[in-house]
Amino acid sequence: MILTLLFTTFVTVFLAEMGDKTQLTTITLSSTTNKPLAVFIGSSIALILATLLGALAGGSIANLIPAYLLKLLSGIVFLIIGINLLAQIKNESTDDR
């Protein structure tokens, strides 16, 4: 069971991180220096610490707020973000004309 959770978490985070701004920043930093190993280590430590904070916060929040409410709030936040992104795209396309 723990291996299933470990695998699911790995795949989910790996796919979510592909092409995001963290990866693009790492590529940029690595391409501007001659020290890709140092960039890799720094990026890895930063991701590990950010993930640790998220996991600790998630565990604490889960003890305070019921799971269904967290899912509802997460869904609402993602909808708001999506609507804002669509509105920005629409504004940018009308500005280009």
Q: For residue range 45-58, what is the model confidence (pLDDT) as tens digits?
A: 998 999 899 888 88
Q: For residue range 64-96, what is the model confidence (pLDDT) as tens digits?
A: 888 899 889 989 999 999 899 898 888 887 776
The two tokens of residue 46 are 């930063």
User: Which pLDDT band, with edges at 50, 70 and 90, does 24 fall under?
Assistant: confident
Q: What is the pLDDT of residue 27?
A: 87
Q: Is the pLDDT of residue 61 over 80?
A: yes
Amino acid found at 63 = N
- Domain ranges in the chain are 1-64, 66-97
Q: What is the pLDDT of residue 96?
A: 67
- Classify residue 1 by burial, with Cβ atoms within 10 Å: 0-12, 13-18, 19+: exposed
Q: What is the pLDDT of residue 75?
A: 92
Q: What is the pLDDT of residue 48?
A: 93
3 state DSSP class of 83: helix
Question: Contact at 8 Å (CB) between 23 and 40?
Answer: no
- Across the chain, what does the average pLDDT equal? 87
